Structure 1
Amino acid sequence: MRKTLPIIASAVALPAAILILGPSITVRTEVLHHESSGEAGVTYEHSGARWSSDLYLVELRTITGTSYELRLGPNAAEHYYPVELSFGAEPPAIRDVTWLPDSVALTFTSGEALRVPASNFRSVR
């Protein structure tokens, strides 16, 4: 009887751990879109200097599923401001990106639109 208790505890603990930790364990990250504000001639001021900003649309595969996010910032491959995306069953696809002095505006092929203020991403380091 005593040997079954650790087996039962393990059988309960493993699924609970997957449910709790699964979304935070990234198995694979794929870049679906990348561009820089510098390519559009737009830079953002931070600490007395001007920086271009990167935008990445990434697909994140975790133990429990797939999610999508935008990553924005001067060096968004390393440090970024994340924006989680969920527009429906289809993966998001960017139709148009407009870099503005105070924000970045995106239009997706689904018709959804998003605007992120530059104050959220220009100082990410």
Structure 2
Amino acid sequence: MNKVICNRIDFISAAKIISQGYDIFHFSDGATFTPIKTENKPTYQSEYKKTDAGPLMTASVKLTVRYDPEANYLKDIIHGYVLKLYTDSGVFYFGHKDFPAQLEYSHNQITASLTFSNSIPSVRLK
């Protein structure tokens, strides 16, 4: 299992992405990545699993934020998200318009724990 500490996370609703390459995006008018202000360093974890249908990569990003019921990342939960993760090693993207990251969260009226996750078919290179 890989675990990466992130310095910053930006997000966009998958519904606002017209097309997506590896690191090239075409957004609907006015759409852009938006930063998430976090209370701690977010963590990214990924794992390859062998299934009957073939290899599967499961991954998640966990973070804590100040709870805001009007936060933009809660407004388009049904479509899923693409995240832009900033690490000491560089920037990478989590999720895809066709395989968006899904958000689950819980809160205590002060802070919220967010978990973005997805599973995608994968091929392990030798």
TM-score (norm 2): 0.30
Higher relative contact order (CA 8 A, sep 6+): 2
- Bigger fraction of residues in helix: 1
TM-score (norm 1): 0.30
Which structure shows the higher strand fraction?
2
